[in-house]
Amino acid sequence: MMKRFLPALALVLALTGCSIVKYSFSGTSIQADVRTICIPYVEYKALRVNPSLSADLTQALQDKYRKLTRLEQVDMDGDLEVACEITGYDVNATAVTAEEVAAQNRLTVTVKCVFNNRKYPEDNLDKSFSAYADFDATQSLEAVEGSICEEIIDKLCEDIFNATVAQW
């Protein structure tokens, strides 16, 4: 039994040892020579103001890359850079009653992301991402803003992460 197992193990080790791209259980495909990432503070450029959204999104992005990659986070000149700015923070009615009154509202956050891979520029990305959450129109935005912004931030981080290092 052991004699049949050793050649298979040797083959697996030989094939994975020659690989240029490193795969992980988080679904990332980061080249082995890419070691650092820079995630600068997310700028806020939307007309409607949410004073904590930039800080919350910055922290969530940094946490996501720290937890799901082996990359060391640096303040500048990383092998990878994920620079984002919030360009939209909008509330719109999504469902209207027969009396033409909003029954449900939607908060949509749009983020422009510029991803630079200094070692593999063919992977660079310049793309906008949007995420939203709906809330009952009987509630004010201020009453639900904290909880729905958390949900939106989670969606945005997932989309940005997948587009940059998971390349989905």
Q: 35-166: which CATH architecture? A: 2-Layer Sandwich (3.30)
- Bridge pairing between strands 36-38 and 80-96: parallel
Answer whether 134's CB lies under 8 Å from 104's CB: yes
The ranges assigned to domains in the chain are 35-166
pLDDT of residue 29: 74
Render pLDDT for 29-77 as a digit per residue (tens, 0 to 9): 788 999 999 999 999 999 999 999 999 999 999 999 999 999 999 999 9
Q: Is 69 exposed, middle or buried (0-12, 13-18, 19+ CB in 10 A)?
A: buried
Render pLDDT for 126-141 as a digit per residue (tens, 0 to 9): 999 999 999 998 899 9
Element housing 119 (H / E): none
